[in-house]
Amino acid sequence: MNRLLARQLRRAACVAWLTCCVIDTGHAQTDARAAASSALGPTSYANREDALRFAAELVARQPELEANWVRHQIEAAQFVPAVARLIMPPPAGTAKDWAAYRARFLEQERIDAGVAFWSAHAAPLREAEDRWGVPASIVVGIIGVETYFGRVMGRHRVLDALATLSFDFPPGRSDRAPFFRAELEEFLLWCVREGRDPQAVRGSYAGAMGLPQFMPSSINRYAVDFDGDGHIDLTTNPTDAIGSVAHYLATFGWERGLPTHFRVHAPNDAAERAVLLGPDIVPTFTASEFSQRGAALAPEAYDQDTLLALVELQNGSMPPTYVAGTRNFYVITRYNWSSYYASAVIELANAVAQRRQAPMPGSMSSPSKLTNP
C-alpha cells in the first residue's frame, strides 16, 4: 500500500469516526456522513446516539417490539447518500411539462403491459370494483404508473432508506424527518406482524413498497388481505395489491360512478381564471359557477351534482392544459399529491381500457364538445 493511499484511508476513517460522534443532524453532519460514505462505503447507524435513542423510545411506545431486536435493526441500518440526494426536489426554475410527463407513462409497451396485467387478474379487479366502486382501469392505471406493473419496485433496502431520511434528512428543503421516523416505526411494526426480515425488504428511495408502492403506514392502515390467505403481500401477490389500492381510494372518498374530470376551456379573463384556480385541486365550484366565471364545460358536466376544481397542467413554453376535476380526481391525488400524477393515472387507465375495448369517457387528450350556457 503506498503512502498516499494509506493517508487517504486514515483520513476517511477519521471522518467516519467523527461523524458517528456528532448528534446534530444539520448541514455539517450530512456533509460529513456523505464524505465518509463516499470514501468507505455505507455508514452504519450503530453508534449514532439519536438513532439509538429513537430505538429506545420506540420500544417504550410499542410493547410488542422486543428491545434487543429493535436495537439490532437500527444498528444494522446504513446511511445511503443516493437516498438523501433523490429525495430533493427538482432544481429551482425547472419548468413543469405535462406533455413530457404524460409521454413517460403512455408509451406503447406500458399500455401493452397493462392489458396483460388486466387480463391476468381480471377476477380480483372485477371483485374490487364491485366491492368498493373503484373502476378496474383506475387500479390498473395506478399500478402501471407506480411500478410498471411490477417491473420497477425499487432496489433500496427500506430499512436504510427510512433511517437515512429519519436521521439525516438533507438540508435545502422542508424537513420531513419526523414523517420518516414515523414511517420507520410503522415499518418495524409491519415486519414483526408479518414475520419479515427488515434487512431483506426492498423498495423505493422513500421507503415505498410493492406493486402499489405503499408507505409502511399505508400498508398498516389500508392494505387488505384480498385473497384471504392470512397475509398481506403487496410485492408478489397482485390480488392483495389490487384490493389494497381500491380500498385505499374508497377510504379517501371515491364516489362510485362519478367521472374523474370533464373537459373544460378555462376563462380567457385572467382574473376569473385566478378565482377558479384559487382552491387548487380541491373541488369547490358548481358547473354553473364555472360558466359564470367564463369557463366552457363539456355538456355532461351539468348532468352531475358535483363540485369541480379547475386543474391547470403546465406545458413548458406552450399553453397549459386544463380539466375540471371532480372529487374522484382529488381522491387520486391523495395517493400521490400531484395533479400531474393523477392525470397520468387517468390517461394510462383510459389507454389500457380502450385497448381492451372498454373505453373510459373523457380522455384528457381527446377532443370533446364544450358548452358555456
* CA pair distance 315, 199, nearest whole angstrom: 42
pLDDT tens-digit map of 109-126: 999 999 999 999 999 999
Q: What is the mean pLDDT of residues 239-251?
A: 98
Q: What is the mean pLDDT of residues 140-168?
A: 98
pLDDT of residue 357: 82
Asked if residue 27 has pLDDT above 50, the reply is: no
pLDDT of residue 187: 98
Q: Which of 86-95, 234-243, 271-280 has the lowest mean pLDDT?
A: 86-95
Q: Say if CB 161 and CB 203 are below 8 A apart.
A: yes
pLDDT of residue 272: 97
Domains and CATH numbers, the chain: 3-89+156-194 (1.10.8.350), 107-151+253-373 (1.10.530.10)
Asked if residue 367 has pLDDT above 90, the reply is: no
pLDDT of residue 91: 82
% of the chain residues with pLDDT over 90: 80
* CA pair distance 144, 345, nearest whole angstrom: 8
Asked if residue 12 has pLDDT above 50, the reply is: no
**Residue 167 — pLDDT band, cuts 50, 70, 90?**
very high
Largest separation between any pair of C-alpha atoms in the chain? 83
DSSP 4-71: HHHHHHHHHHHHHHHHHH----SHHHHHHHHHHHHHHSSEESTT-HHHHHHHHHHHHH-TTS-HHHHH
Q: What is the mean pLDDT of residues 291-305?
A: 95
Q: Could you confirm whether 185 is annotated as catalytic?
A: no
pLDDT of residue 373: 42
pLDDT tens-digit map of 29-77: 434 444 444 433 458 999 999 999 999 999 999 999 999 999 999 999 9
pLDDT of residue 363: 54
Asked if residue 19 has pLDDT above 90, the reply is: no
Instruction: Please give the grid coordinates belonging to residue 360.
Output: 373510459
Q: What is the mean pLDDT of residues 88-92?
A: 84
**Residue 294 — pLDDT band, cuts 50, 70, 90?**
very high
DSSP 152-200: ----EEHHHHHHHHHH-PPSSS---HHHHHHHHHHHHHHHHHHT--TTT
Phi then psi dihedrals of residue 343, to 5 deg: -65, -40
Q: 129, 146, 183, 312: which one is catalytic? A: 146
**Residue 326 — pLDDT band, cuts 50, 70, 90?**
very high
